[in-house]
Structure 1
Amino acid sequence: MNFSELFKQTNQLCKFSPNGEYLANCVQYRLIIRDVKTLQIIQLYTCLDGIQYIEWSSDSKFVLCGMYKRGIVQVWSLDQSEWTCKIDEGSAGLVAVRWSPDGRHILTTADFHLRITVWSLVNKSVSYIKYPKDTKQGIDFSRDGKYMALAERRDGQDFISIFAANTWHLVKHFESNTRDLQGVEWSPDGRVLCVWDSILEYKVLLYSVDGRCIATYSAYEHALGIKCIAWSPSSQFLAIGSFDQIVRVLNHITWKTVAEHNHVPILDNTSVVTYREVEKRPKVMKPDRTWPPMSSMFSVQSKYEIQDNPVQIPVVKPDPDKPNPKIGVSMVSFSPDNKYMASKNENMPNALWIWDVQKLTQVVLMLQVNSIRCLQWDPHQPRLAMSTGNNKMYMWSPAGCVSVEVPTEASFQVNSLQWSLDGAAILLMGKDRMCVCFLADPDT
């Protein structure tokens, strides 16, 4: 592994381009475009105000910057430096912005979710979509870019509208049998739309493109329900993480549960490999002016040790007086080859659970010293990267675990991370700085 130097960034607004050639990051009101291989600045743009959101177009030719406080979106072109675009929502305000899959239309959401406006960069046309529901996951495009599903709220009832993403014509409009729709998400093959209810009611609905309800699933009643969902890359499984600390996996044929993965406080399974992070302080040595950096000489080092089961997992008791209790499965993610699934239980913040999808059993438990903040799979192979808010990056693969310290002279805490689409680099982001970790080719 090779680490770059530290670069400034603001609000962790850093993203790799879809083609893997560029890295965009923001420093207050400036947008910086770098070459991924050399990290040299190739473009520098100045926006009208502090940037609060950035997103690449699908073809990596444009970058949009959202300035929600001023209700403005600015779009920049990498090919034509003199070309500029500004979208002003005016008094309607701006709370969200995103690209359409074709990379030539921009969707902006007005204040209080009054409407969604579709802006065309091709012919400068503008169209409006009324009644969008005020939810973070109320809009989703199918992977092939053909359809857009939108959650709507009309006269106190939930509806779903499906649009053709190339013409923005309404394909299907139907009522959703939900009390308070929380989110919509297409399956990777684009055949099924998953709709789930609010946390107050455990209900999952599966719809086809033509609006037919294929199946309805509910695990229990009269308790806090769904916390997160995740489709497997093959669309064969739908994983549902809930407040009762269980991940339920549904199959795509009968939409019945094929597995229920419970996050127990005491793990007594000899077939599960338990990795525990162990920290130790290095011995005081004479400083070397070249390597390692001074900060890393006195930092706490860590390594993984395999622990015998049974093992006690640290549990944090949630505060019942506070809203959004820290309990239940908050993260579920499948590996790109569909072989593994990782999950995190909110009231066991230091533990990562890895399950074998084919055998429907747990294979690995990782116990960290600090709470897990971010985890993400390599886009091409079963390799998981993880951060816990310290100066280290952690990785797991079927071959084992590794803890890697970021060799920087200044203190740097990894709060979140992001893989490049080719899996050759990992972007590590702290509070106001970032660096890139370049991975060696496994073949060489």
Structure 2
Amino acid sequence: MDFTEIYKQSLGLVEPSPTSHAIRGSWVLTAVEDRLIVRRMDTFQVSRSWLVDNSHSSTSQHLSTQSKSKAGTSGTDGWITHIGWSCDSLYMFACCARRAIVNVFSLEDEQWNARIESGVEGLIKAEWAPDGRNILCFSEWGLRVTVWSLVNGCATYIQFPKYPGRGYAFDQDGRQFILAERHKSKDTIGVYDPNASFKLLRHFPLPTSSLSSFALSPNGDHIAVWEGPLEYKLYIFNLAGQHLGTFTPEPDPGLGVRNAAWHPSGNMLAVSGWDDKAGIHILNSLSWTSIAAFELTGRVPEHVSVWREPPRWIEETHGRGFLSHDQVRAPTSIQIRTGATGGLIHLEWNITGNILLARWENCPQAVHLYSFPSVPEEFRPRLQTILLHSHPVLSAQWNPIRAGSLAICCGTGAVYTWVSDKSEEVCECIGVPAKKFSTRDVRWTGDGDGMALLDKETFCYAFQVLEE
């Protein structure tokens, strides 16, 4: 694996362009305080750079003057808080949420720019719509969602979102925008048409007393919604508003739903709670009942592969080179913290849906991988592999192209990879060749050949070296 130099970034704002062009190539968008930077992916040389206009609008200037007189000011107020590429990689935005403004720039015309001022309602975050010509701005206090068009400069307002900056989704084709809303003290789902200026298609009520979140299936046919953390109830609807099923584990569900992850096919749904009483349940799309369940136990069965990070390997090798994990003979046991809240921090399928990743809060140094059989085989999912690390896992991400490839980081000067090819597994520790670098986040590139490694204020890229 080959590493680039170390570059500066702020607030973890590093994003590769979603598309690659034969002439323009691929790019990396980063933010350093109040400056937006575009680098070429092949050389990492700076191609474009803008110092964003983070001056207040007249309304926000008046409000900020009053707040400063009461609570002082911060030097980070004008920093960029969100960045993003349009779907065709022609435009990019830099959002300064604390100043309630969004600046938009063009990759092809460095002189062109646009500015969005949110005004008195404030701004939590901004995000591109799938068409790459509309920007969604989420106001403070969940007042509304404003959709700004770069084509005609007009704004479309969607009132009463349930939460500011979350509780929304686009379907896979970008033809429907689904938003959790609150009308007259009742939870509802709003479905909008992005191709018709976000025209309302339908509203339908929910049986929830306090909706926590929802998950849209990959094919856009179903939506799973669930209650807050005190009540374990999950409801399944289609986008016409028809209630298809309700799930509550028996006999003791414990706390409410924390995570729900749809299988890539949309035929199964993995659900977990805020504690480990209910474990992980796999629901099918026919009856919406549990067809498999997994619990966290300290005792590891014989058939499970256990890989442990070698102790003190970073100090002994000075963080250089590659080192394989130690394979532990099963049956064995793993340490589970007592007194922790429990529940799953992370629940995610790989691209083909044959492996489910789970990270438990009361077992923070471990990554559990559950295997699922292919269609012709008997449906008997089981725990396949456990990856144990010396420090708590901070981030784990599946390769977007290769089904059996996983990258993990633990806040150390290394990145950890797990690769499975049929029955063979390879688990490696890879040191980052830098004097001061702690990998706090890892993000694969779109082609799956490289990954961005992020520290608190810096980043680098690591690419696989192709053998000739």
TM-score for both structures, normalised by structure 1: 0.91
Helix, strand or coil for the counterpart of 1:278? coil
Q: Give yes or no for the alignment of 1:348 onto 2:363.
A: yes
Give the distance between the partners of 2:314 and 2:410, measured in 1 at CA.
21
What's the counterpart of residue 266 of structure 1?
A: 299
Give the distance between the partners of 1:298 and 1:384, measured in 2 at CA.
20
Instruction: Say if 2:180 and 2:188, in contact at 8 Å, map to a contact too.
Output: yes
Give the distance between the partners of 1:45 and 1:148, measured in 2 at CA.
32
Q: Give yes or no for the alignment of 1:61 onto 2:94.
A: no
Give the distance between the partners of 2:315 and 2:343, measured in 1 at CA.
40
What's the counterpart of residue 258 of structure 2?
A: 227
Tell me: CA distance 1:318–1:73, structure 2 relative to 1, closer, same or farther (3 Å): farther
Helix, strand or coil for the counterpart of 1:279? coil
Aligned with 2:41 (options 23, 36, 47):
36
**1:405 CA drift (Å):** 0.4
Give the distance between the partners of 2:314 and 2:442, measured in 1 at CA.
27
Tell me: CA distance 1:87–1:310, structure 2 relative to 1, closer, same or farther (3 Å): same
Aligned with 2:161 (options 132, 137, 147):
132
User: What are the within-5 Å matches in structure 2 for residues 22-171 of structure 1?
Assistant: 22-47=27-52, 48=54, 49-134=78-163, 137-167=166-196, 168-171=198-201
Deviations 1:323-375 (A, max 9, x none): xx4x2111011111221111000010001100102241111011111000000
What's the counterpart of residue 5 of structure 1?
A: 5
- Letter of the aligned partner of 2:445 in structure 1? S
What's the counterpart of residue 275 of structure 1?
A: 307
What's the counterpart of residue 371 of structure 1?
A: 392
List gaps (5 residues or longer) in structure 1: 285-295, 320-324
Deviations 1:136-168 (A, max 9, x none): 531111111010111111222101110112111
Instruction: Say if 1:64 and 1:74, in contact at 8 Å, map to a contact too.
Output: yes
Tell me: CA distance 1:315–1:91, structure 2 relative to 1, closer, same or farther (3 Å): same
**1:230 CA drift (Å):** 1.1
Q: Give yes or no for the alignment of 1:257 onto 2:290.
A: yes
Deviations 1:15-47 (A, max 9, x none): 111115111111100111111121111111111
Stretch moving more, 229-238 or 86-95: 229-238
Instruction: Say if 2:235 and 2:245, in contact at 8 Å, map to a contact too.
Output: yes
Tell me: CA distance 1:125–1:347, structure 2 relative to 1, closer, same or farther (3 Å): same
What's the counterpart of residue 275 of structure 2?
A: 244
Tell me: CA distance 1:283–1:314, structure 2 relative to 1, closer, same or farther (3 Å): closer
Tell me: CA distance 1:298–1:120, structure 2 relative to 1, closer, same or farther (3 Å): closer
**1:69 CA drift (Å):** 0.8
User: What are the within-5 Å matches in structure 2 for residues 298-309 of structure 1?
Assistant: 303-309=324-330
**1:237 CA drift (Å):** 1.5
**1:300 CA drift (Å):** 11
Tell me: CA distance 1:74–1:403, structure 2 relative to 1, closer, same or farther (3 Å): same
What's the counterpart of residue 386 of structure 1?
A: 408
Deviations 1:270-289 (A, max 9, x none): 110111111245898xxxxx
- Letter of the aligned partner of 1:387 in structure 2? C
- Letter of the aligned partner of 1:256 in structure 2? T
Aligned length: 424
| Percent identity (aligned) | 29
**1:223 CA drift (Å):** 3.1
- Letter of the aligned partner of 1:146 in structure 2? R
- Letter of the aligned partner of 2:351 in structure 1? P
Helix, strand or coil for the counterpart of 2:303? coil
Give the distance between the partners of 1:15 and 1:111, measured in 2 at CA.
25
Tell me: CA distance 1:161–1:279, structure 2 relative to 1, closer, same or farther (3 Å): same
List gaps (5 residues or longer) in structure 2: 21-25, 55-77, 374-379
Instruction: Say if 1:356 and 1:362, in contact at 8 Å, map to a contact too.
Output: yes
Tell me: CA distance 1:137–1:71, structure 2 relative to 1, closer, same or farther (3 Å): closer
Deviations 1:401-437 (A, max 9, x none): 01100111x2100000100110011000001110000
Aligned with 1:396 (options 407, 415, 418):
418
What's the counterpart of residue 336 of structure 2?
A: 315
Instruction: Say if 1:344 and 1:352, in contact at 8 Å, map to a contact too.
Output: yes
Give the distance between the partners of 1:412 and 1:356, measured in 2 at CA.
34
Instruction: Say if 2:81 and 2:97, in contact at 8 Å, map to a contact too.
Output: yes
TM-score for both structures, normalised by structure 2: 0.87
Give the distance between the partners of 1:298 and 1:68, measured in 2 at CA.
38
Give the distance between the partners of 1:282 and 1:157, measured in 2 at CA.
54
Give the distance between the partners of 1:53 and 1:150, measured in 2 at CA.
21
Instruction: Say if 1:56 and 1:63, in contact at 8 Å, map to a contact too.
Output: yes
